Amino acid sequence: GAVVSQHPSRVICKSGTSVKIECRSLDFQATTMFWYRQFPKKSLMLMATSNEGSKATYEQGVEKDKFLINHASLTLSTLTVTSAHPEDSSFYICSASPPRIQYNEQFFGPGTRLTVL
């Protein structure tokens, strides 16, 4: 199957700082990647769709100025949580689909656990 990596796996930061999370497709090119957020004991909630070479599409209620997404290459999308606050503490997971996949099968990264103190 396709491999998606994320870095870092875990990050702890102080309130008010910014944190960048990287999502890479290791063995395929991904024109589209997706960013999800998962709070404890909750489901995965789509935050935004990251499009290579163009602006990301954000879901309703997700602040695009707070969660900056950059998809500068076909194998890398980054999510930057700006001016992080404790309520941003969550598990952030990206996913992508290889071009050869006909249906919507998605491959998830290992996730990044963000803790904002």
Contact between 113 and other proteins per CB under 8 A: yes
Burial class (CB in 10 A: 0-12, 13-18, 19+), 116: buried
Which x/- pattern over 2-31 shows residues binding other proteins (rule: CB under 8 A)? ------------------------------
The CA distance from 74 to 29, in Å, is 5
Alpha carbons 7 and 15: distance in angstroms, whole number: 20
- Between residues 4 and 16, which has the closer beta carbon with respect to other proteins? 4
Cβ atoms < 10 Å from Cβ of 76: 16
Instruction: Give me the least distance between CB of 103 and other proteins, in Å please.
Output: 4
In whole angstroms, the minimum distance from the beta carbon of 83 to other proteins comes to 26
Q: Which residues bind other proteins (CB under 8 A)?
A: 32, 34, 41-46, 49, 91, 93, 95, 97, 103-106, 108-111, 113
